[in-house]
Structure 1
Amino acid sequence: MFRILFFLIIVVSAVEIALFVWLGNVFNVWFVLFGIILTGLLGALLAKQQGLGTMNRARLELSRGRAPAEKILDGLAILIGSVLLFTPGFVTDTIGFLLLIPQTRKPVKLYIKKVLLEKIRNGSIKVFRHY
């Protein structure tokens, strides 16, 4: 897993740098800098809005005596999206925005659920219940 993560970090960084250079040549350096700052600010505002909304919905679920499983997955996706938006780059910003927007976050949540259920079925993750 570490090797795959390390490889992805190297590849994504190289793609981001290449994209910065290409956009800087096509437009100019100020356009690239403005884009980085703008996506960071918009991402911070969206992350705050989505995060607070998800936290409030999770509190409501807990007050009703239900486990906020969906809201936990939402919160995880929002956290990952926020981290990606704070890293400079247009590829990571695109992925970050996709994780912050509820309509585009849904397929990611379905994938995470599928992976977790598969890991529970094959015994990689153990679930303990106290009754």
Structure 2
Amino acid sequence: MMSVTGSDQWLRWWCIAAMAVGGTLQVERTIVDVLPVRRPCMGEGVRACLVVRWAGDTTWGAFYDDIDGFPYEPGVQYRLLVERRPIPNPLADASAYAYRLVRICHQTRGDRVTALAPVEKGVAECP
């Protein structure tokens, strides 16, 4: 029996998405900053969400989804380059997007938040 890795699963979803939208994938690359601690959030019950700031934003908020390939470690602040792609026909309470790690641009260990300058919207490579 063959095991499915994260990248295999991503490729499978990628192909399904391509077929669902007529062969055109609407994949967007963006920068996201991740704080070194999670915070409680409410989804399907209470869980611990990442706290993130997206390129173009100055405020931090809870992130309810997963980022495929992202090895989050508590106590480490990250700046990531991620790909975001639409999920065709998502379930009612599910995310409309899937996320995949492209690269860890920056990481700092420690409980203090390092003052990373916000990134402008539209930046699609590590600053």
TM-score bracket for this pair, using the shorter chain length: under 0.3
| Higher RCO (CA-CA < 8 Å; seq separation 6+) | 2
Rg larger in structure: 1
Higher strand proportion (structure 1 or 2): 2
Higher helix proportion (structure 1 or 2): 1
